[in-house]
Amino acid sequence: MSDILRQAALNYHSQPVPGKVCIALSKPTGTQYDLSLAYTPGVAEPVKEIAKDASTAYQYTNKGNLVAVISNGTAVLGLGKMGALASKPVMEGKAALFKRFAGIDVFDIEIDCDNPQDLVDTIVRIAPTFGGINLEDIKASECFFVEAELKKRLNIPVLHDDQQGTAIVVSAALLNALDLQGLRLPDAKIVCLGAGAAGIATMRLLLKLGAVRENIYLVDREGVIHSGRQNLTNEKKEFANVTSKRSLADAMHDANVFIGVSGPQLLAPEMVQTMAKRPIIFALSNPVPEIMPEDVWRIRNDVILATGRSDYPNQVNNVLCFPYLFRGALDVRAATINEEMQLAAVDAIRSLAKEPVPDDVLAAYGIEHGLAFGPAYLIPKPVDPRLKDQVSAAVAKAAIASGVAGI
């Protein structure tokens, strides 16, 4: 990052007041009478109602529109273990996105705890405050344990956005890219570089959508995850392929799809040259992708490419998903975010990309015309206002149909 941009980022977070979010009042407090209702003695009445019937908390408090964004700072962005307090700017940023795109209120909570069981216990104890829990920046493989345990113990939606959020948006974009390239997901040979939370969750969701396990090559720092590898985590064992491929270069030969959720400049142009015809490359490491788009376009003209950056076509960004996944879940008081709701979000996001783009979206990106479903427009832009209505509604309907809605 340049010195100018670095200072601009610091100024943004510090001026005119520190931070990015604040609490706003939703009721009048200007008179003595207002205060008597807001606090003592009036506040005793909803207390007694909630004590009699816990579900009335959704009627008398902000629980139904309040999400906790929680991290312990063990895997902050691409920076690694920065600590709970240092993760706070990211959690505040997530809070701002929830409010901006879905009207959801957030308390960001940074928990100074490296022990996964203690982290789970802490979150369970504070959970009555919230209508949902959004986990962030918790390192693999501990994140899998934390999410699974919370889903067992809580009756409110729990989402680890680095897992399901990423998986949903990647899957929506990939299905559209496959359509454009004339490929079917069951036939696609997929290489995923990165076997952490995002990589594992994305491959799991692709399997649910029809990918074939034998066609998936998951690659970590030691190379291809294969059946002969020792000391694999349980999550990696799910994708241990019976194969003679050992390196990323081996896996890339004749591959149809590359998905990178790893680190900068790890995919060499020579590897791209060995891919099958009409390949798909999702280089999603931020801010520097696994391979720069210019390096791909220089050697292939039949490729569809996406990154995590806003300055290239096809930005794969979780903001297309998590605000609306929670909006739909909260609106029907869902007890969980299940597979049906995730698949509904995938379908809604990919379908929206095939509809005409509104003028206000074009204006926001300085585009007069020409933005339509195709190789440079696989998924909607983050500012598309239709996402809130269409994705949230699809998620809510799936919650109702699958029997997890409370209302």
* pLDDT single digits (tens) 344-372: 999 999 999 999 999 889 988 888 777 89
Could you state, in order of their start, the residue ranges of all structural domains in the chain? 10-26+62-156, 164-307, 326-401
Measured CA to CA, the distance from residue 179 to residue 71 in angstroms comes to 37
Which pLDDT belongs to residue 95?
A: 97
* pLDDT single digits (tens) 129-161: 999 999 999 998 899 999 999 999 999 999 999
Contact 93, 20 (CB under 8 A): yes
* pLDDT single digits (tens) 265-322: 999 999 999 999 999 999 999 889 999 999 999 999 999 999 999 889 999 999 999 9
What mean pLDDT value characterizes the chain?
Answer: 96
Is 94 one of the annotated active-site residues of the chain? yes
Contact 406, 332 (CB under 8 A): yes
Both tokens assigned to 207: 């399997």
* Superfamily of segment(s) 164-307: NAD(P)-binding Rossmann-like Domain (3.40.50.720)
Measured CA to CA, the distance from residue 198 to residue 146 in angstroms comes to 15
Pick the catalytic residue from 33, 39, 60, 365: 39
Bond before 89 cis per omega within 30 degrees: no
Both tokens assigned to 164: 């399901």
Contact 143, 350 (CB under 8 A): no
Is 312 one of the annotated active-site residues of the chain? no
The reply to whether 10-26+62-156 and 164-307 are identical in fold is yes
* pLDDT single digits (tens) 203-259: 999 999 999 999 999 999 999 999 999 989 999 999 999 999 999 999 999 999 999
Cα torsion 44, 45, 51, 53 to 10°: value is: -160
CATH top-level class for 10-26+62-156? alpha beta
Both tokens assigned to 391: 């994705």
Pick the catalytic residue from 63, 94, 189, 381: 94
Measured CA to CA, the distance from residue 364 to residue 276 in angstroms comes to 36
Measured at the CA of 72, the angle between CA 66 and CA 77, to 5 degrees, comes to: 90
